A and B are shown apart, each in its own frame.
Chain A
Amino acid sequence: MITRRLFCSTLAAIGILSATASDAQERFITVASTTSTEQSGLFGHLLPLFENASGITVRVVALGTGQALDMARRGDADVVFVHDKAAEEKFVAEGFGVKRQEVMYNDFVVIGPKADPAKAHGTNGKDILEGLRRIEATKSPFVSRGDKSGTHAAELRYWKAAGVDLDARKGAWYRDTGSGMGPALNTAASMNAYVLADRGTWLSFRNRGELGIIVAGDTKLFNQYGVILVNPAKHAHVKQADGQKFIDWMVSPEGQKAIADYKIGGEQLFFPNAKR
């Protein structure tokens, strides 16, 4: 009998130990954002500053832009912070977001093997459309995110602008990986392929192999980030006041300075451009 009691009390002890799932009731908001802001380390730099200033903890779920907006549509986030203007405007127009505010920008870069077999670098390494045309013309391996992220949407826009009909031209050279920025870069590094990346993720990416920046600096490669409060009229539980505080801080001189201050290896990753 005593053994059974011991057994049961052990079970109970494990139960109590493990059922500490009652998380401390802290003041927090949930932000649906992109892998580029999280993996570049920007949030690691920004959020402690905001948390100190406001006492509000920010919980970031990092996804592709498409998925982040989708999560917010379901009401699972208070704020979205993403980079696909067309999709963001649609989100607001549908009534899911209150208002879109621009926060900062960085730029996309074409990453590829340093030897540049497709000669995508061209004459000055600044022409994204010509670069893509050359990659397609030589059927050089190209890794696509293929995950409806902001970067994927941008990539598809560039192909279209370059006059390359992907549906007709897609072949073994075009690898649709359906993965985040990091995994796509890992894939590109392992097969020496070209890939479109945001500069932030590239700068903080470590497994570069033979890859380097091939095309950069084209004004078309501009990558704008916007922030939107999820509409409390659609989802009543949205933490409107605290979410708005976060947005206000991001576009405030203090937040904008914090964004500009974030550097990797002396290089600034994001450029604040909130309109006031």
Chain B
Amino acid sequence: MITAVHLRVFFVLSSVLSVSSEVLRLMHEFNEPLVTAWQLVAGADARLAGIVLLSLRVSLSATLIACVAGMPIGALLAVGRFPGRRALIVLFNGLMGLPPVVVGLLVYLLLSRAGPLGQFGLLFSPTAMVIAQAILVTPIVAALTRQVIADAWSEYREQLRSLGASRPRAAATLLWDGRFSLTTAALAGFGRAIAEVGAVMIVGGNIDGVTRVMTTTIALETSKGDLPLALALGCILIALVLSINALAYALRAWAQRRWG
């Protein structure tokens, strides 16, 4: 005798089955890229290594510049008191959404031979890519730093004041004090830098062996219709970003235990 319960069990089972067959199909679709990705990594492909290193070099440099510029800006926005401060806070929050392609175009026009900085011949060089990504990432670092420091400021304000610390001094102290939390701001900036393709494509030109990075390679392979290879490179990029985040997390935990 078939009861309602039987029917329900049947439906659940059949839907589980159909879902799992869909998963199997997808796994097949993603299998080839994963195998390709593994072969590329295991084969220690020299060209791939060059591309990965350039990606890291460009995006780490840009993030470093963005931190050096953005963290003091963020801290001063958090503790400072000056006219236009609120407008600046809104501006930096808004600039977190800067479209990479627009930044790329602006930097292109600046660095082009016909542009104001043309005489340096920086266009289509890794330096141009660092400049574009630094512009893109600085507002992110500044805005996130401001939030971290503003929270600390509301907590330690009285204490710092009673010690007679000036506002810039307080900003510096809070930056140092919040250094572990600020790794998140730096990582968010780095994530944006390493993932973007619009700006580096325009100012770098995706020149083989000179300015070709992970994201522009992925875009190129997609253009060629080699979707499995493009996806394989995508897997490697994601793995790279994850490892860097894991490394930063571990370092932070270690440093916090050691000196926190």
| Contact bitstring B123-137, A, C-beta under 8 A = 1, else 0 | 111110010000000
Interface centre among A15, A181, A208 (most CB of B within 10 A): A15
Chain A nearest CB, measured from B178 CB (Å): 13
A76 contacts B113, C-beta separation under 8 Å: yes
Q: Which of A14, A15, A183 contacts B223 (CB 8 A)?
A: A183
Q: Which of A74, A76, A183 contacts B222 (CB 8 A)?
A: A183
**A86: Cβ under 8 A from any B Cβ:** no
State whether A237 and B121 are in contact (beta carbons under 8 Å apart), knowing that A18-B61, A39-B224, A208-B225 are contacts in the complex: yes
**A75: Cβ under 8 A from any B Cβ:** yes
The interface-forming segment of B20-28, B36-44, B92-100, B206-214 is: B206-214
Q: Please indicate the chain B residues that have their CB under 8 angstroms from the CB of A61 in the complex.
A: 124, 205-207
Q: Please indicate the chain B residues that have their CB under 8 angstroms from the CB of A208 in the complex.
A: 225
Number of interface residues of A (CB under 8 A): 38
| Contact bitstring A1-38, B, C-beta under 8 A = 1, else 0 | 00110010001001101111101000000100001000
Q: Which of B113, B123, B225 contacts A206 (CB 8 A)?
A: B225
**B227: Cβ under 8 A from any A Cβ:** yes
Q: Please indicate the chain B residues that have their CB under 8 angstroms from the CB of A204 in the complex.
A: 224
B112 contacts A18, C-beta separation under 8 Å: no
Bound-state CA distance A133–B170 (Å) is 74
**B114: Cβ under 8 A from any A Cβ:** yes
Q: Please indicate the chain A residues that have their CB under 8 angstroms from the CB of B121 in the complex.
A: 237
Q: Please indicate the chain A residues that have their CB under 8 angstroms from the CB of B113 in the complex.
A: 74-76, 235, 237
B64 contacts A14, C-beta separation under 8 Å: yes
Q: Please indicate the chain B residues that have their CB under 8 angstroms from the CB of A76 in the complex.
A: 112-114, 123-124
Q: Please indicate the chain B residues that have their CB under 8 angstroms from the CB of A206 in the complex.
A: 224-227
B223 contacts A74, C-beta separation under 8 Å: no
Q: List 24 A-B contacts (CB under 8 A).
A: A4-B176, A7-B179, A11-B64, A18-B61, A21-B57, A21-B61, A39-B223, A60-B208, A61-B207, A73-B114, A74-B112, A74-B113, A74-B115, A75-B114, A75-B118, A76-B112, A76-B113, A76-B114, A76-B123, A185-B225, A186-B225, A204-B224, A207-B227, A235-B113
Interface of B with A (CB < 8 Å)? 57, 60-61, 64, 112-115, 118, 121, 123-127, 130, 176, 179, 205-208, 210, 220, 222-227, 259
